[in-house]
């Protein structure tokens, strides 16, 4: 079975190697040795200070929880009948077909 695709951007926590600015707010200065959340964007990495990084993670968790709630509410499928998660097909999830002429 194939792996699920991740909804998260590649990221990592690293220790700052030099003095630099937080990518979210230039007022936040990162000093050598500070914890930095780096997020891969394109071919480079953008660094965020710890408070901004923690806020980003909290916001992402809230957004994913909203998406999960929406998915659970929009699919009115019997919780006991989750054959579509085991690789089977659940016809109740298909869009309605037009009547035959």
The model's pLDDT over 66-92, given as tens digits with 9 standing for 90+, comes to: 988 888 887 665 555 555 555 555 555
* pTM score of the predicted model: 0.65
Question: What's the pLDDT score for residue 6?
Answer: 85
pLDDT at 62: 93
Domain-located, residue 43: yes
> Is 38 part of any domain?
yes
Distance CA 16, CA 4 (A): 32
In a domain, 100, yes or no: no
Report the distance separating Cα 45 and Cα 12, nearest Å.
10
41 pLDDT higher than 80 = yes
Number of domains in the chain: 1
Domain that holds residue 62: 11-75
> Would residue 48 count as lying in a domain?
yes
Whether residue 43 has pLDDT greater than 80 = yes
Residue 5 lies in a domain: no
Instruction: Please tell me which residue, 99 or 45, carries the higher pLDDT value.
Output: 45
- Answer whether 52's CB lies under 8 Å from 28's CB: yes
Q: Is residue 92 part of a domain?
A: no
């Amino acid at each position: 079975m194939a792996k699920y695709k991740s909804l998260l951007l590649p990221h990592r926590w690293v220790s700052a190697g030099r003095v630099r600015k937080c990518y979210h707010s230039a007022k936040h200065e990162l000093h050598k040795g500070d914890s930095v959340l780096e997020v891969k964007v394109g071919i480079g990495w953008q660094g965020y200070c710890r408070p901004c990084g923690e806020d980003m993670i909290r916001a992402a968790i809230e957004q994913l929880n909203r998406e999960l709630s929406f998915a659970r509410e929009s699919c009115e499928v019997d919780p006991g009948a989750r054959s579509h998660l085991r690789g089977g097909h659940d016809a109740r999830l298909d869009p309605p077909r037009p009547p035959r002429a």
